[in-house]
């Protein structure tokens, strides 16, 4: 796959990262009162940023003395002073049309990129049936090598701790290679360069941030997801997917195997402590108690019988950061 370096993206320099913060909630609408989905919202003076969801709603921790800087494709960038307000309504004026990313669901039949060929069309492949040499009708591919069902917004932090943002781009994560992919037209794509990016945040349709970084302790993936990060601990999630080919066969009486290709997922979790070494772990309360040496006990007790999953670990990280 061709790699396009992040020097092609817009780099925005941020100010000092340490400041008192408040939780600011708000909406982003256009001048007609219509929501602006996936608008990029950041503290103009610090490295605090998020994306609005599909309804234009956002929540961001920010410096109460700062301003919100808001941008979106086809709209003029706007700043709104926070002035200690915890609820902010942002109106984005229209700008000259710049196009945008069309959903892959509507254009996948038009995709013409070498990365998507070899029978691996994105998000399930060709829905039509195909006759194969072994004498059975092959069904549509199941699953996907890509983590998210469509393009989603995202931004990076470069090695100089500055924002890397391009409002016309949308992103996805390749579970096989560990690449973060981006597109500006929904028909072709390239990979973000891990040599220039310290971390990259992707925002799913529910507004959950998925943070990725290039980790020296997990060497077989370009980027891995960071579920928890403190000065003392890290927990990584490594998402893998493997293509299992159709293997249907029959002896004339019994039918065996599958009539379809399928992407089979396998997620693994790794804990990195003070020694800097990664150890494979399972997400269990007993495991977390042992690894965190009592630091997680109060949080675990407060969660009662709640199952340990990715969100649980993210919330644990937020609790330890306070």
Q: Model confidence over 79-96: pLDDT tens digits?
A: 999 999 999 999 999 886
| Average pLDDT rounded to a whole number, residues 100-108 | 42
β 154-158/40-43 pair status? unpaired
CA distance between the termini of the chain: 41
Nearest to 92 by CA among 37, 54, 172, 36: 36
Q: Phi and psi for 124 in degrees, rounded to 5?
A: 105, -10
Q: Are 283 and 313 a contacting pair, CB within 8 Å?
A: yes
How much is the pLDDT for 253? 87
| Average pLDDT rounded to a whole number, residues 30-44 | 93
Rounded to whole angstroms, how far apart are CA atoms 199 and 16?
17
How much is the pLDDT for 19? 60
- Which residues, in sequence order, are CB contacts of 312 under 8 Å at separation 6+? 283, 303, 306
Q: What percent of the chain has pLDDT over 90?
A: 53
Length reported for the chain: 322
CA 38 to chain centre: 13
Q: Phi and psi for 110 in degrees, rounded to 5?
A: -100, -5
Q: 284-322, pLDDT tens digit by residue?
A: 999 999 999 889 999 999 999 999 999 999 999 999 987
Which band of pLDDT confidence, cut at 50, 70 and 90, is reported for residue 220? Answer: confident
How much is the pLDDT for 51? 93
Nearest to 28 by CA among 83, 74, 65: 74
How much is the pLDDT for 92? 95
The DSSP bridge partners found for residue 243 are 263
Q: Are 1 and 63 a contacting pair, CB within 8 Å?
A: no
Of 5-9, 70-74, 308-312, where does mean pLDDT reach its minimum? 5-9
Q: Quick check: 228 pLDDT over 60? A: yes
C-alpha count within 13 angstroms, C-beta hemisphere, residue 94: 7
How much is the pLDDT for 134? 60
**pLDDT mean across residues, the chain:** 83
Q: What percent of the chain has pLDDT over 70?
A: 82
State the residue for tokens 């708000």: 26
DSSP 267-315: EEEEEE-TT--EEEE---HHHHHHHHTTTTHHHHHHTTTPPP-HHHHHH
Exposed/middle/buried for residue 184 (C-beta within 10 Å: 0-12, 13-18, 19+): buried
Rounded to whole angstroms, how far apart are CA atoms 72 and 101?
12
Which band of pLDDT confidence, cut at 50, 70 and 90, is reported for residue 25? Answer: very high
Nearest to 25 by CA among 68, 65, 66, 54: 68
| Domains along the sequence of the chain with CATH | 15-92 (2.60.40.1120), 104-321 (no CATH)
Residue 103 is classified by DSSP as P
How much is the pLDDT for 159? 87
How much is the pLDDT for 285? 95
Residue 7 is classified by DSSP as G
Q: Quick check: 117 pLDDT over 70? A: no
Query: Which ranges in the chain belong to alpha helices (H)?
Result: 104-107, 285-292, 297-302, 310-321
State the residue for tokens 């693994």: 268
Q: 151-206, pLDDT tens digit by residue?
A: 899 999 988 888 888 878 899 999 999 999 998 887 788 888 888 889 999 999 88
Rounded to whole angstroms, how far apart are CA atoms 3 and 191?
5
How much is the pLDDT for 98? 59
């Amino acid at each position: 796959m061709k790699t396009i370096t992040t020097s092609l993206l817009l780099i925005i320099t941020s100010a000092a990262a340490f400041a008192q913060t408040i939780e600011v909630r708000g909406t982003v609408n256009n001048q007609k009162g219509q929501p602006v989905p996936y608008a990029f919202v950041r503290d103009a003076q610090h490295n605090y940023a998020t994306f609005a969801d599909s309804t234009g709603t956002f929540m961001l921790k920010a410096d109460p003395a700062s301003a919100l800087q808001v941008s979106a494709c086809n709209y003029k960038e706007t700043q709104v002073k926070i002035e200690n307000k915890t609820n902010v309504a942002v109106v984005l004026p229209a700008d000259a049309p710049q196009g945008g990313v069309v959903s892959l669901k509507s254009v996948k039949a038009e995709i013409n990129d070498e990365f998507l060929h070899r029978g691996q069309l994105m998000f399930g492949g060709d829905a039509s049936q195909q006759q194969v040499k072994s004498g059975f009708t092959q069904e549509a591919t199941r699953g996907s090598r890509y983590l998210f069902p469509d393009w989603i917004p995202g931004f990076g932090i470069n090695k100089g701790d500055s924002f890397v943002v391009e409002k016309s781009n949308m992103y996805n994560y390749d579970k096989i290679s560990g690449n973060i992919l981006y597109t500006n037209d929904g028909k072709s794509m390239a990979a973000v360069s891990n040599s220039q990016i310290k971390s990259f945040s992707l925002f799913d349709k529910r507004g959950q941030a998925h943070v990725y970084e290039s980790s020296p302790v997990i060497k077989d993936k370009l980027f891995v997801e960071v579920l928890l990060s403190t000065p003392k601990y890290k927990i990584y999630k490594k998402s893998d997917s493997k293509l299992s080919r159709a293997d249907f066969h029959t002896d004339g009486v019994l039918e065996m195997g599958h009539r379809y290709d399928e992407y089979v997922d396998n997620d693994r979790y790794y804990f990195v402590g003070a020694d800097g070494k990664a150890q494979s772990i399972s997400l269990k309360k007993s495991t977390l108690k042992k690894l965190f040496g009592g630091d997680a006990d109060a949080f675990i007790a407060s969660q009662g019988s709640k199952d340990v999953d990715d969100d649980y670990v993210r919330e644990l990280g937020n609790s330890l950061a306070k």
